[in-house]
Amino acid sequence: MKLLITRPLPEAVLAPARAAFNLTMRDSTAPMSEAEMTAALAEQDIILPTLGDRFSSDIFAAVPAPRARLLANFGVGYNHIDVAAAHAAGLRVTNTPGAVTDATADIALTLMLMSARRAGEGERLVRAGRWEGWHPTQMLGLHMSGKVLGIIGMGRIGQAIAKRAHFGFGMQVVYHTRTPRPLPALPEARALPGLHDVMKAADIVVIAAPASAETRHMIDASALAAMQPHAHLVNIARGDIIDEQALIAALQAGQIAGAGLDVYEHEPDVPEALRALENVVLLPHLGTAALEVRVQMGLMALENALALRDGRPLPNPV
């Protein structure tokens, strides 16, 4: 069977892929073009796409009788794929849940600390040669230990963040989720009835919800207005969950103390107004950027491809 991998992946993933399939790998790190996506649907049996490869309904409509039977997505998020259109065209879709949980939770804690303790601002101060030495009121930030953490979305990643914050930093955890579930490992965590209730209660809010039509711009001007003036907002989910312009306005006005972002509404484009702000930490989508994590993700996507080849149930259908 023919397999297309749409971006360069670690050799630990490519070697078993070559052994099992007639493999083609794009050398480019940029998202696929429309022409590349339609050609892949017509010519490949399995496609291993990732973030930015926008398999929209128009792409499937352009190939009425695709050869491809599976999009084995490299990543847990799959909002770049129109799953309903894929199913209608006869393709299955899978993702890589679990493989990204701990690494993404670690980045959330990184951003929480960096934003609360003004680490990005401090590093820029030192690099610019403007640091004049320690003094008692220099760059005072938010002491994170013992504070209230609000989590929006309490799936695998949200729970992993909560455990790190509660057991590592003694933080109280409140959360809002669209899918209530028992949390035996977090008996102290409190579910609040609405999004704004969490935004009001928390000293730090972390977005860990999946991207969908329902969650787009869920964090809007009114949600930001509900936050406390000393509070910080962190996003490690998907960029369009936050209304980026509303966030810029809130940060510019000092309506909230700061933000830490690993994802952006139109990435890789980051608005100049956001880049100019001192009270925001900006990372280049590093959530899963560890070699062993990317290998695990690739092998999980490959296992879904092998299951299709062998006629077995797909391990991770969406």
By annotation, the residues acting in catalysis are 238, 267, 285
Please check whether residue 157 is in contact with residue 182, taking contact to mean a CB–CB distance below 8 angstroms: no
SS3 190: strand
Sheet holding 2-5, edge to edge: 22-25, 2-5, 46-48, 70-72, 92-94
Q: Of the candidates 86, 81, 89, which has an alpha carbon nearest to the alpha carbon of residue 212?
A: 81
Task: Give the integer Cα–Cα distance in Å for 87 and 74.
Answer: 18
- Cis peptide, bond prior to residue 49, ω within 30 of zero: no
Q: Residue 127 CB: number of other CB atoms within 10 A?
A: 9
DSSP state of 78: -
139: left (phi over 0), alpha (psi -120 to 50) or beta: left
Q: Read off φ and ψ for residue 176, nearest 5 degrees.
A: -135, 130
In terms of Cβ atoms closer than 10 Å to its own Cβ (0-12, 13-18, 19+), residue 133 is: exposed
Full strand arrangement of the beta sheet holding 204-207? 190-191, 172-176, 148-152, 204-207, 232-235, 258-261, 280-282
